[in-house]
């Protein structure tokens, strides 16, 4: 008993261990550059004639049948019933024959190269469709080479899968798992390292179980539209791959020319559900399209589902035709341009606008401040030959225009200050009683006498902010080397330039600017009749 059992086990072992690695197919394809083998085994365990000699032959093309032996074919090794190639090459294609006593066997070997830019041969792929969410298992098994390999790796799309132990992939299939999985055995042989590969073409397929298709959304949909516009009705379904999915767009008297049914788009979610959607495009909507029921259907053996879309005219909204909109835009642009122009004009004609406003509103700043003079005029008092014009300007032209014509009250030292007394105190109090300090600047202005007025006035203006300074440049200021720093702090619009060569009229920019800088006052000029502007007597 014991012996028989042992024998049976041995036979079983022999059978399983050999049958797995036997080369049973007639037509064999091998990849060049890789180790390859042919193994003979008879399926029926018949009594073996151990002494029977094994012979291998090859025949290819014009060459006759030649016997193979390791000594004349260095890439070939023969043992037991196995013929091994280290490695197999393109010229090894041909017919191979195995002879052992009365037993013979033939194979037809076709050696091919690997696909371009790929780590496998496309013809040798093992296709394996896997249903999504089902178990995906890629395991590298090769009973013949496994025991020779010192390493086995698993590659996906020719990239080694990282952290992959034992070259096994086991997971729930998702669509992104689709790809080419290659088992690579690294086999050292006679001091060389060989690769044996086996590649699976794994495709992830959708759920094969049929569902009853359903359309998404309410059964009846009202869509507000405007006549003349286009609309797209989107019908979506949870459906099977092959389900019929369509719009009923036919009317009794034929298809409306402005209604178009677009193609179905199908999207598979990672969990294997299939969503289909189909658009019905209605162009240039007319009255006939309203109140009509556009039905979308999906149908399979499992059942049918229909939803309806009805177009309604948009109520309560006045249609704005395109041309009205365009006109509106043009008007808006024009208004903005006008506003910008007005702002620019306002900046340019600021002085005139302010003067007009003062006149129009009857504005008067002088009533409540308790000051006696509208301006204190500071100028060079000595009337010498080189500064005669300036003197004339200060004591004649200024009062003529500002007092007689525009009704201001000036304080002019020569005219208004009683001789004698403490001049310095007097000047100080006069400046305090004035609303503006008009400084008539010229080359010889900076004499000791006026310097005090200047400094006192600037102190009031810049430190105490009681008085505003108006500078009239009689000759250009840049000539003055010894000019006080504080004067340069004056804002440039408070500096007026007098052009003695062109005596300005009352309406000139010079006087307007001066009036603008003067306090607002409503006093009517008492010489309203057009007077002749005094002209500088040129000496
Ligand atoms: C082997 O392939 C050839 C063509 O290449 C074909 O004619 C033959 O029938 C095939 N034999 C078998 C057993 O598949
Ligand atoms: C075994 O093989 C030898 C040599 O090929 C042959 O002479 C002998 O008859 C064979 N025996 C059997 C039982 O087939
Ligand atoms: C090997 O085969 C070749 C021809 O195929 C033959 O010439 C040679 O003698 C053979 N050598 C051995 C050792 O059998
Ligand atoms: C097997 O071979 C022997 C000689 O080796 C021969 O006598 C016998 O007829 C052969 N048997 C068959 C079935 O061909
Ligand atoms: C496998 O064998 C080759 C050649 O002998 C050697 O270079 C390589 O380091 C070995 N790899 C491992 C993982 O043992
Ligand atoms: C892999 O399998 C898919 C699905 O069967 C097929 O479409 C594709 O062509 C195959 N790839 C190659 C390289 O044969
Ligand atoms: C239609 O609706 C489906 C589902 O709501 C959406 O996935 C699809 O992108 C839509 N199609 C268009 C063209 O808007
Ligand atoms: C719809 O499908 C047809 C046939 O498959 C194709 O000829 C046509 O170009 C497709 N239309 C669009 C808009 O994709
Ligand atoms: C469309 O339907 C509305 C109410 O459902 C109805 O008042 C209107 O008269 C209908 N219009 C047409 C053209 O049938
Ligand atoms: C759409 O369905 C409604 C009822 O669901 C039906 O009255 C109408 O005739 C259908 N329209 C078309 C074009 O089939």
Instruction: Cis check for the bond before 227: say yes or no (omega within 30 of 0).
Output: no
Q: Which residue numbers are catalytic?
A: 453
Q: Domain for residue 102, yes or no?
A: yes
Least confident of 71-75, 237-241, 343-347, 525-529: 525-529
Go through 166-192 and write b for each residue having 16 or more CB atoms within 10 A of its CB, e for each that does not: ebebeeebeeebbbbbbbbbebeeeee
Q: Tell me the per-residue pLDDT of 192-221, one tens digit each, with 9 for 90 and over.
A: 999 999 999 999 987 777 888 999 999 999
φ, ψ for residue 251 (rounded to 5)? Answer: -105, 170
Write the DSSP assignment of 247-316 as a string of letters.
EE-EETTEE-TTEEEEEEEEEE-TTS-EEEEEEEEE-S--GGGBT-EEEEEEEETTEEEEEEEEEEEPPS
Centre of ligand 5 to C-alpha 346, Å, is 90
| Tokens at 258, concatenated | 């402005």
131 and 45 in one domain?
A: no
As for how many domains the chain has, the answer is 5
Centre of ligand 6 to C-alpha 31, Å, is 19
Q: Which of 101, 102, 103, 104 to mutate to test the pocket of ligand 2 (most atoms within 8 A of CB)?
A: 101
Task: State the CB neighbour count (10 A cutoff) for residue 61.
Answer: 8
444 and 429 in one domain?
A: yes
196 and 58 in one domain?
A: no
Residue-level pLDDT at 401: 85
The CATH number given to whatever domain includes residue 271 is 2.60.40.10
101 CB less than 6 Å from ligand 2?
yes
Centre of ligand 9 to C-alpha 221, Å, is 15
State which residues form the domain around 344: 322-348
- Going by pLDDT thresholds of 50, 70 and 90, the confidence category of residue 527 is very low
Q: Shortest CA distance to 227 belongs to which of 128, 341, 318?
A: 318
49 CB less than 6 Å from ligand 2?
yes
291 CB less than 6 Å from ligand 9?
yes
> Is residue 431 within 8 Å of residue 453, measured between CB atoms?
yes
Residue 501 has pLDDT above 70, yes or no: no
231 and 162 in one domain?
A: no
449 and 399 in one domain?
A: yes
More confident call, 183 vs 5: 183
> Is residue 180 within 8 Å of residue 158, measured between CB atoms?
yes
Q: Tell me the per-residue pLDDT of 12-25, one tens digit each, with 9 for 90 and over.
A: 444 334 445 788 88
134 and 83 in one domain?
A: no
Nearest ligand 8 atom to alpha carbon 263: 1
Using the 3D structure, point to which of 88, 112, 136 is the last residue of a domain.
112
More confident call, 502 vs 389: 389
Residue-level pLDDT at 280: 94
Q: Tell me the per-residue pLDDT of 336-380, one tens digit each, with 9 for 90 and over.
A: 999 999 999 888 888 888 888 888 887 787 777 888 888 888 877
334 and 221 in one domain?
A: no
| Tokens at 96, concatenated | 């191979």
67 CB less than 6 Å from ligand 3?
yes
Decide: helix, strand or coil at residue 33.
coil
Nearest ligand 2 atom to alpha carbon 51: 2
Q: Domain for residue 425, yes or no?
A: yes
The separation between CA 309 and the C-alpha centre of its own chain, rounded to angstroms, equals 36
Centre of ligand 8 to C-alpha 128, Å, is 31
Nearest CA to ligand 6 atom 11: 201
d(CA 31, CA 29) in angstroms, rounded, equals 7
| Tokens at 91, concatenated | 């010229």
478 and 412 in one domain?
A: yes
Q: What is the pTM of this model?
A: 0.47
Residue-level pLDDT at 415: 80
Q: Domain for residue 3, yes or no?
A: no
Residue-level pLDDT at 359: 81
Residue-level pLDDT at 340: 93
Nearest ligand 10 atom to alpha carbon 295: 1
């Amino acid at each position: 008993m014991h012996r028989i059992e042992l024998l049976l086990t041995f036979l079983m072992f022999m059978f399983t261990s050999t049958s797995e690695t036997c080369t049973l197919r007639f037509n064999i394809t091998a990849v060049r550059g890789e180790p390859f083998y042919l193994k003979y085994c008879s399926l029926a365990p018949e009594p073996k004639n151990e002494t029977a000699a094994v012979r291998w032959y090859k025949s290819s093309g014009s060459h006759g049948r030649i016997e193979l032996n390791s000594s004349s074919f260095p890439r070939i090794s023969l043992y037991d019933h196995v013929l091994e190639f280290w490695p197999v090459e393109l010229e090894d294609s041909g017919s191979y024959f195995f002879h052992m006593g009365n037993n013979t066997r033939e194979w037809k070997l076709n050696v091919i190269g690997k696909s371009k830019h790929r780590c496998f041969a496309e013809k040798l792929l093992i296709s394996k469709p896997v249903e999504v969410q089902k178990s995906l298992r890629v395991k590298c098994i090769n009973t013949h080479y496994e025991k020779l390999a010192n390493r086995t790796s698993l590659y996906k799309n020719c990239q080694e899968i990282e952290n992959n132990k034992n070259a096994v992939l086991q997971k729930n299939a998702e669509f992104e798992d689709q790809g080419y999985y290659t088992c690579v055995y690294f086999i050292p042989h006679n001091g060389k390292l060989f690769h044996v590969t086996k590649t699976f073409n794994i495709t992830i397929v959708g759920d094969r179980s049929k569902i009853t298709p359903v359309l998404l959304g309410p059964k009846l949909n009202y869509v507000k539209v405007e006549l003349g516009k286009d609309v797209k009705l989107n019908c979506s379904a949870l459906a099977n791959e092959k389900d019929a999915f369509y719009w009923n767009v036919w009317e009794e008297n034929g298809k409306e020319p402005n209604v178009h049914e677009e193609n179905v788009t199908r999207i598979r979610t990672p969990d294997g559900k299939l969503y289909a959607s189909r658009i019905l495009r209605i162009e240039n909507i007319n009255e006939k399209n309203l109140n009509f029921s556009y039905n979308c259907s999906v149908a399979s053996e499992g059942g049918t589902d229909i939803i309806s879309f009805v177009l309604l005219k948009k109520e309560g909204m006045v249609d704005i035709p395109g041309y009205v909109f365009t006109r509106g835009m043009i008007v808006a642009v024009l208004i903005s341009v006008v506003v910008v122009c007005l702002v620019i004009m306002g900046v340019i004609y600021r002085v005139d606008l302010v003067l007009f406003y003062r006149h129009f509103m009857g504005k008067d700043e002088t009533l409540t401040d308790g000051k006696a003079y509208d301006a204190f005029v500071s100028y060079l008092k000595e009337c010498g030959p080189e500064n005669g014009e300036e003197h004339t300007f200060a004591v004649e032209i200024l009062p003529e225009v500002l007092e007689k014509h525009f009704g201001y009250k000036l304080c002019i030292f020569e005219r208004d200050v009683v001789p004698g007394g403490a001049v310095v105190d007097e000047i100080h109090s006069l400046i305090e009683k004035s609303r503006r300090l008009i400084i008539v600047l010229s080359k010889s202005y900076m004499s000791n006498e006026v310097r005090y007025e200047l400094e006192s006035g600037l102190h009031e203006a810049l430190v105490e902010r009681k008085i505003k300074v108006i500078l009239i440049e009689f000759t250009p200021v840049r000539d003055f080397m010894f000019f006080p720093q504080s004067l340069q702090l004056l804002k440039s619009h408070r500096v007026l330039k007098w052009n003695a060569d062109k005596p300005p009229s009352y309406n000139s920019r010079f006087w307007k600017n001066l009036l603008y800088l003067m306090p607002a006052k409503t006093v009517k000029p008492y010489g309203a009749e057009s007077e002749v502007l005094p002209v500088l007597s040129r000496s």
